[in-house]
């Protein structure tokens, strides 16, 4: 079954609302149009669900053909017994911080899970000790599944924590690229191809010198992939020796300034590890009075958003699709939970997003 396109999920959604007394006898269900929008399905799917609710007597058509909850709806649902109890799951979302990027993903997962009749518990693994405590709690409470951004030290997470989950047969999906020596279900952006495409874009736009601005303090796995993408693109395009500037170096500003002065006759293409590094670069460009598109172009992975989920910067960036990351991680987890009892040797699933260009 698909994640959202089955009428049973709409039925279970209203079963839950009725059993939890959010909808009482005589209360009107949301309109078919509103329900279709909420579940992102066609109106025909909603009509099928509403007709089923009427057929079994949980709902009836009131005045003006409005669908309302029947007087004996609770008793009917309890007699049916299986549907709501079988479909209701309690999952945990374990994330490393409360920043806007992950906060948006958490909100998307919660909204989608609740539409499916599931409950979500959110925990935070700020460090390795806290992560261990959280995972022990997940195992103790026997949650049905987990979606997690692992705590990483120098780019590597504590595999022992996740091996415990595997041993206890609690399915989980990792948001982020796993270590090569540890296989698990995961959803992540293709950092190698993203950086490769960024560099090729700058080369095709005829920028005479392409540099890579990075930060060794960032996630080592992501750092390595983005570095490799930059280097591979240079090699495939027969470019000169790579130019790499590390924001964590105390001499970064001095070295970048000297390089830009020496390259004054060339248009500089900047492959940016992340827009979080923009504050390191901007003062250097402004001090030299360099103009965007005339003297330079910056392209990178965008990771900063305002409260509406919009990118705050006003230059070209690679887009990371947070909503799709949330939906696909939940979809993989659902499939894992459905197959857990019948196929313990199911293959590991990876959903890898390529980043698309977006001009702001």
Q: Which pLDDT band holds residue 305 (cuts at 50, 70, 90)? A: low
Q: Does the pLDDT of residue 81 top 60, yes or no?
A: no
Number of residues that make up the chain: 360
Q: Does the pLDDT of residue 143 top 50, yes or no?
A: yes
Q: Which pLDDT band holds residue 230 (cuts at 50, 70, 90)? A: very high
Q: What is the percent of the chain with per-residue pLDDT over 90, rounded to a whole number?
A: 44
pLDDT attached to residue 168: 93
Round to whole Å and give the CA distance between 339 and 10. Answer: 22
Average pLDDT estimate for 167-188: 91
Round to whole Å and give the CA distance between 224 and 195. Answer: 11
Task: Return the number of other C-beta atoms located less than 10 Å from residue 161's C-beta.
Answer: 19
Pair of tokens at residue 223 = 């750092």
Pair of tokens at residue 276 = 């979080």
Least confident of 11-20, 143-152, 307-316: 307-316
pLDDT attached to residue 86: 53
Q: Which pLDDT band holds residue 174 (cuts at 50, 70, 90)? A: very high
pLDDT attached to residue 254: 95
């Amino acid at each position: 079954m698909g994640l959202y396109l089955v009428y049973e999920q709409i039925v279970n959604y209203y079963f839950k609302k009725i059993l939890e007394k959010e909808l009482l006898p005589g209360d009107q269900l949301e309109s078919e149009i509103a329900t279709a929008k909420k579940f992102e399905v066609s109106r025909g799917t909603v009509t099928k669900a509403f007709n089923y609710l009427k057929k079994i007597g949980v709902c009836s058509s009131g005045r003006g053909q409005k669908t309302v909850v029947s007087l004996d709806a609770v008793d009917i649902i309890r007699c049916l017994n299986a549907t709501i109890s079988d479909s209701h799951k309690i999952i945990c979302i374990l994330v490393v911080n409360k920043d806007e990027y992950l906060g948006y993903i958490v909100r998307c997962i919660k909204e989608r899970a609740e539409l499916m009749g599931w409950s979500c518990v959110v925990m935070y693994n700020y460090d390795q000790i806290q992560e261990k405590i959280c995972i022990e709690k997940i195992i103790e409470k026997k949650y049905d599944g987990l979606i997690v951004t692992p705590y990483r030290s120098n780019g590597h997470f504590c595999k022992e924590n996740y091996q415990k989950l595997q041993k206890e047969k609690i399915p989980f999906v990792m948001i982020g690229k796993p270590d090569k020596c540890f296989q698990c279900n995961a959803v992540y952006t293709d950092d190698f191809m993203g950086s490769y495409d960024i560099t090729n874009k700058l080369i095709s736009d005829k920028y005479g010198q392409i540099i890579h601005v990075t930060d060794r303090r960032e996630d080592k796995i992501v750092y390595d992939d983005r570095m490799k993408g930059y280097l591979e693109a240079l090699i495939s395009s027969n470019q000169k020796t790579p130019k790499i500037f590390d924001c964590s170096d105390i001499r970064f500003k001095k070295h970048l300034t000297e390089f830009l002065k020496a390259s004054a006759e060339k248009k500089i293409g900047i492959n940016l590890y992340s827009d979080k590094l923009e504050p390191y670069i901007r003062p250097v460009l402004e001090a030299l009075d360099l103009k965007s598109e005339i003297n330079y172009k910056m392209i990178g992975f965008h990771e900063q958003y305002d409260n509406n989920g919009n990118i705050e910067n006003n230059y070209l960036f690679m887009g990371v699709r947070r909503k799709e990351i949330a939906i696909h991680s939940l979809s993989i987890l659902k499939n894992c939970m459905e197959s857990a009892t019948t196929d313990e040797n199911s293959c590991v699933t990876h959903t890898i997003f390529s980043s698309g260009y977006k001009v702001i």
